[in-house]
A and B are shown apart, each in its own frame.
Chain A
């Protein structure tokens, strides 16, 4: 069973601050996805990274996939209250039967205080 450890578990910051969320594993993943979930809703995909060392930017959000494809980070610049939510990373691997499976981390709950 592949495990994804996310840190920190909880993060409360002031509007305008920067933050980084980490997603680490001892396993290698074919791809790494980041989702954001708001209360009472299902997770929504933010980004998928597939190449070791890959960096993707989505406005104020920067995602990086580790060179060895075992870890990833999400950096938010100048956080806004609208960034509040649960951030989930999910690692993708192919099973022995050839199907693609996603393993989710436990999430980082971010609160941005105005």
Chain B
């Protein structure tokens, strides 16, 4: 079982470059989430998709866009990367949007120079 798979695991960008983080799950999750984790800041929600076809902003959405491509896939795009977006990004899935355990991917470490 792959669970929640994120690609790439590591990426270095220059300021102003764009990139997309990919996330795919094979756990039949209805809801999917993107978080960023920074030292001393904990996990902060960027965007989420409660179900296929819907997306909503989280706590820190500025500078990001998302696409729920289908039930399995939820991508996070940085259109013009900034050094403040240097972070570790985690994708997570959940069976129901209203309760239950979050299953996380292994993370994608992004450095913006």
A and B are interacting partners: yes
Taking beta carbons and an 8 Å cutoff, which residues of A are in contact with B?
1, 31, 33, 35, 40-45, 48, 88, 90, 92, 94, 98-102, 104-107
23 contacts between A and B (CB under 8 A): A1-B59, A33-B102, A40-B107, A42-B4, A42-B90, A42-B92, A42-B105, A42-B107, A43-B90, A43-B102, A43-B104, A44-B104, A45-B101, A45-B102, A48-B100, A88-B43, A90-B43, A99-B56, A99-B98, A102-B102, A106-B40, A106-B41, A106-B42
Q: In B13-66, which residues have CB < 8 Å from any A CB?
A: 35, 40-45, 50, 56, 59
Residue of B nearest to A48 (CB): B101
Taking beta carbons and an 8 Å cutoff, which residues of B are in contact with A?
4, 35, 40-45, 50, 56, 59, 90, 92, 97-102, 104-107
Separation of A35 and B42 alpha carbons in the complex (Å): 12
Separation of A12 and B15 alpha carbons in the complex (Å): 38
Q: Is the interface of A mostly helix, strand, loop or mixed?
A: strand
A40 near B42 with CB under 8 A, answer no
**Interchain nearest-CB distance for A107 vs B (Å):** 6
B97 near A40 with CB under 8 A, answer no
What is the count of residue pairs linking A and B with beta-carbon distances less than 8 angstroms? 51
Residues of A within 8 A of B50 (CB): 99
Separation of A33 and B43 alpha carbons in the complex (Å): 14
Residues of B within 8 A of A99 (CB): 50, 56, 97-98
With A42-B4, A42-B106 as known contacts, state yes or no: A105 contacts B98, CB within 8 Å.
no
**Interchain nearest-CB distance for A36 vs B (Å):** 11
**Interchain nearest-CB distance for B3 vs A (Å):** 9
Residues of A within 8 A of B42 (CB): 88, 104-107
B99 near A43 with CB under 8 A, answer no
Beyond contacts A42-B90, A100-B98: 10 other A-B pairs, Cβ-Cβ < 8 A, are A40-B106, A42-B4, A42-B107, A43-B90, A43-B104, A88-B42, A99-B97, A101-B45, A104-B44, A106-B40
**Interchain nearest-CB distance for A95 vs B (Å):** 9
Question: Nearest 7 CB-CB pairs, A to B?
Answer: A42-B104, A106-B42, A104-B43, A100-B98, A45-B101, A104-B42, A43-B104
